[in-house]
């Protein structure tokens, strides 16, 4: 059930070219058939792209309370949206055409031999039959309603569409109990019966008050801004959240099959340009990242490109929508931190105190004799006569320089609705560490098509004030945890530090499905990264990092049902911190245990 939901959401996100909302997939019926659901979700994604869906949901949340035929009304809405925008989604995504035809064929095959149909089934059967040019026998009221819908069809703006829906609602579905209007709704028609079509019965004992779409605790699903006019004719992000969509289930656009090598080069250039306008310019020259790709992007990561950024944009080359979205999210992150600042400040102080007790030794233990450091002339004789090389004195406080910490943040769309929490957690750790002058680097990672995008919020030797940049944390795209960990681990090898700690804040769901089949004209390199393959690869890279003398801790930021995956990846070295008041103690305990 959950896999199906995630797959549907992913199709909606990819078709709408936007990952920044939670789609209301229950607006459309579920068919428990991949091809049928695929078409419906592709249509829904297109609606999110071109309509102000929040207005539609506001309308439905009010008017569904005024009819007992809730699901029947939703079916009518579904059919009307299909009639208005079905052809348009095919223009936008030509590969959807086959799925639409299969959808219609399966509907007809499903109902053509049935003698008893529910209201929803009859509406759908008659509508699809009209589309296919067939005539089927039905209740007069059903035929009237379908004819009304088809008469009003055509591309609509949201206000016109709602007006049309409202006219149909008032005529056929409005539960008006005044006697002079009692026969003006669909329920009355159905209860009074249709003498011409007595063979088609309806279960009038159905529990009318239930609906598949529940608005009782509805959140705001769509933000106020729209940006469909700022995006090209291809999908913005590689797919995430999905489980396996096999090769024979993918939509194939025939135009993609020609000149693949040329298109891949062109696609990489287009994607890189998009990344620079959305995430910022690269902090490294091409020759450096090209070398990294040859070294790091092997095996299942072959074909993946790398983009390092600090979130700084080239003058005149940035996407105003995305820079706006980062600023909006920054305000939300800061607001969340300020609302809980007393608690978070206490956590910072506690973590600093726990680490400080280990790092800063008592005065009597502050100095020791070693074979390097400051020469003590009075001890030279020991070297000559006793072969004792410990004729130098060293201040243990200098040992603080032998530790470095990397914090790696999963910045993919699966962290949606947790951005404020994750940014505050990262800030607590970074603030405590840098207050002790421990070199600390913080990097966020996500995948955008076949690019791994790493956003560096602070580097090891940056001033402590740079910690505030962590509130720029904004999710996007999907995630190849294994590749990100592999890359950061290799970079950590270059540090001349005795103790290297890697802390990964992730939800335990490595998932990067590059090719959904509905990415327009872009033909990208890279293999899909999902399911057990992704989990095993991430676990292997954690193991490899430990073999290369890194101390790795996973901080779980996901849902309970994904906890087992986190355990598979990190083994015993992970923390699931439900109570933020224990956060500093758990992090401090881990660092002191593994390092000292």
Residue 43 has pLDDT above 70, yes or no: yes
Name 446's bridge partners.
453
Higher pLDDT, 367 or 67: 67
Average pLDDT over residues 316-321: 70
Higher pLDDT, 17 or 353: 353
Q: What's this model's pTM, rounded to 2 decimal places?
A: 0.58
Q: What is the chain's mean pLDDT, rounded? A: 78
From CA 76, how far away is CA 74, in angstroms rounded? Answer: 5
Helix (H, G, I), strand (E, B) or coil at 446: strand
**C-alpha pair distances (Å), 255 with each of 95, 99, 517:** 10, 17, 12
Q: Which residues of 14-37 are buried (b: 16+ CB within 10 A; e: fewer)?
A: bbbbbbbbebbbebbeebeeebbb
pLDDT in the model for residue 164: 86
Structural contact between residues 518 and 15, judged by C-beta atoms closer than 8 angstroms: yes
Confidence of residue 399 (pLDDT cuts 50, 70, 90): very low
Q: Which of 111-125, 233-247, 315-329, 390-404 has the lowest mean pLDDT?
A: 233-247
pLDDT digits (tens, 9 = 90+) for 424-454: 999 999 999 999 999 999 999 999 888 999 9
Nearest to 80 by CA among 155, 171, 2, 159: 155
E strand or H helix at 368: strand 367-370
Confidence of residue 264 (pLDDT cuts 50, 70, 90): low
Where are the strands (E) in 386-517, listed by range?
Answer: 392-395, 403-410, 440-448, 451-458, 499-506
From CA 328, how far away is CA 87, in angstroms rounded? Answer: 35
pLDDT digits (tens, 9 = 90+) for 494-529: 888 889 999 999 988 898 887 654 444 456 778 889
Higher pLDDT, 149 or 185: 149
E strand or H helix at 374: strand 374-375
Residue 279 has pLDDT above 70, yes or no: yes
Q: Which of 9-13, 133-137, 380-384, 558-562 has the lowest mean pLDDT?
A: 380-384
pLDDT in the model for residue 552: 95
CA 592 from chain centre, in angstroms, equals 34
Average pLDDT over residues 353-373: 66
Tell me, letter by letter, the H, E, C secondary structure of 237-288: CCECCCCCCCHHHCCCCHHHHCCHHHHHHHHHHHHHHHHHHHCCCECCCHHH
pLDDT in the model for residue 2: 53
From CA 257, how far away is CA 521, in angstroms rounded? Answer: 10
From CA 490, how far away is CA 35, in angstroms rounded? Answer: 43
pLDDT in the model for residue 414: 83
**C-alpha pair distances (Å), 377 with each of 366, 367, 389, 390, 391:** 20, 16, 12, 12, 8
Average pLDDT over residues 47-64: 88
Confidence of residue 222 (pLDDT cuts 50, 70, 90): very low
From CA 481, how far away is CA 484, in angstroms rounded? Answer: 5
Q: How far apart are the first and last CA of the chain?
A: 46
Residue 408 has pLDDT above 60, yes or no: yes
Nearest to 347 by CA among 431, 470, 464, 439: 431
Q: How many CB atoms lie within 10 A of CB 359?
A: 20
Q: Which of the given ranges, 165-179, 287-301, 382-396, has the highest pLDDT on average?
A: 287-301
Structural contact between residues 200 and 116, judged by C-beta atoms closer than 8 angstroms: yes
Confidence of residue 368 (pLDDT cuts 50, 70, 90): low
């Amino acid at each position: 059930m959950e896999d199906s939901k995630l797959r549907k959401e992913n199709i909606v996100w990819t078709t709408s070219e936007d990952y920044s909302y939670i789609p209301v997939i229950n607006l459309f019926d579920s068919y428990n058939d991949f091809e049928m659901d695929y078409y419906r979700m592709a249509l829904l994604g297109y609606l999110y792209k071109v309509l102000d869906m929040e207005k539609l949901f506001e309308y439905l949340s009010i008017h569904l309370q005024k009819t007992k035929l809730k699901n029947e009304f939703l079916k009518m809405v579904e059919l009307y949206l299909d009639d208005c925008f079905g052809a348009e989604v095919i223009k936008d995504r030509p590969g959807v055409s086959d799925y639409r035809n299969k959808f219609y064929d399966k509907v007809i095959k499903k109902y053509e031999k049935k003698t008893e149909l529910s209201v929803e089934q009859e509406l759908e059967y008659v509508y699809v039959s009209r589309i296919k040019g067939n005539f089927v026998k039905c209740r007069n009221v059903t035929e009237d309603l379908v004819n009304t819908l088809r008469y009003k069809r055509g591309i609509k703006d949201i206000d016109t569409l709602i007006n049309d829906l409202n006219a149909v609602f008032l005529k056929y579905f409005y539960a008006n109990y005044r006697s002079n209007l009692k026969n003006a709704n669909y329920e009355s028609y159905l209860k009074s019966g249709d003498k011409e079509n007595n063979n088609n019965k309806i279960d009038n004992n159905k529990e009318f008050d239930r609906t598949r779409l529940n608005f009782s605790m509805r959140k705001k699903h769509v933000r106020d801004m729209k940006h469909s006019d700022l995006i090209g004719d291809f999908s913005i992000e590689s797919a995430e959240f999905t489980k396996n969509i096999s090769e024979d289930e993918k939509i194939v656009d025939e135009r993609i099959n020609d000149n693949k090598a040329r298109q891949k080069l062109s696609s990489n250039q287009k994607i890189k340009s998009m990344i620079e306008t959305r995430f910022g310019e690269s902090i490294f020259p091409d020759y450096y990242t090209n070398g990294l790709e040859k070294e790091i992007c092997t095996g299942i990561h072959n074909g993946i490109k790398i983009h390092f950024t600090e979130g700084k944009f080239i003058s005149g080359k940035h996407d105003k929508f995305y820079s706006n979205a980062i600023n909006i999210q920054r305000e939300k992150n800061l607001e969340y931190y300020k609302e809980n600042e007393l608690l978070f400040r206490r956590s910072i102080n506690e973590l600093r105190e726990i680490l400080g007790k280990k790092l800063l030794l008592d005065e009597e233990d502050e100095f020791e004799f070693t074979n390097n450091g400051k020469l003590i002339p009075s001890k030279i004789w020991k070297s000559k006569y006793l072969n004792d090389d410990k004729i130098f004195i060293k201040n243990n406080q200098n040992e603080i320089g032998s530790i470095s910490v990397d914090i790696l943040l999963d910045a993919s769309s699966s962290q949606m609705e947790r951005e404020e929490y994750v940014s505050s957690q990262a800030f607590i750790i970074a603030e405590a560490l840098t207050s002790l002058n421990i070199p600390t680097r913080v990097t966020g990672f996500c995948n955008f098509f076949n690019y791994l995008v790493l956003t560096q919020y602070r580097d090891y030797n940056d001033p402590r004030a740079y910690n505030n940049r962590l509130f720029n944390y904004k999710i996007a795209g999907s995630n190849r945890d294994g590749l990100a960990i592999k890359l950061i681990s290799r970079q950590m090898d270059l540090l001349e530090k005795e103790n290297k700690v890697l802390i990964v804040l992730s939800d335990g769901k490595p998932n990067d499905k590059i090719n959904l089949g509905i990415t327009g004209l872009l033909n990208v390199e890279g293999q899909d990264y999902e399911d057990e393959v992704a989990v095993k690869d991430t676990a292997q890279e954690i193991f490899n990092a430990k073999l290369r003398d890194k101390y790795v801790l996973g901080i779980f930021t996901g849902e309970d049902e994904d906890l087992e995956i986190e355990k598979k990846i990190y083994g015993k070295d992970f923390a699931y911190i439900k109570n933020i008041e224990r956060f500093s103690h758990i992090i401090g305990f881990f660092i002191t245990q593994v390092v000292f």
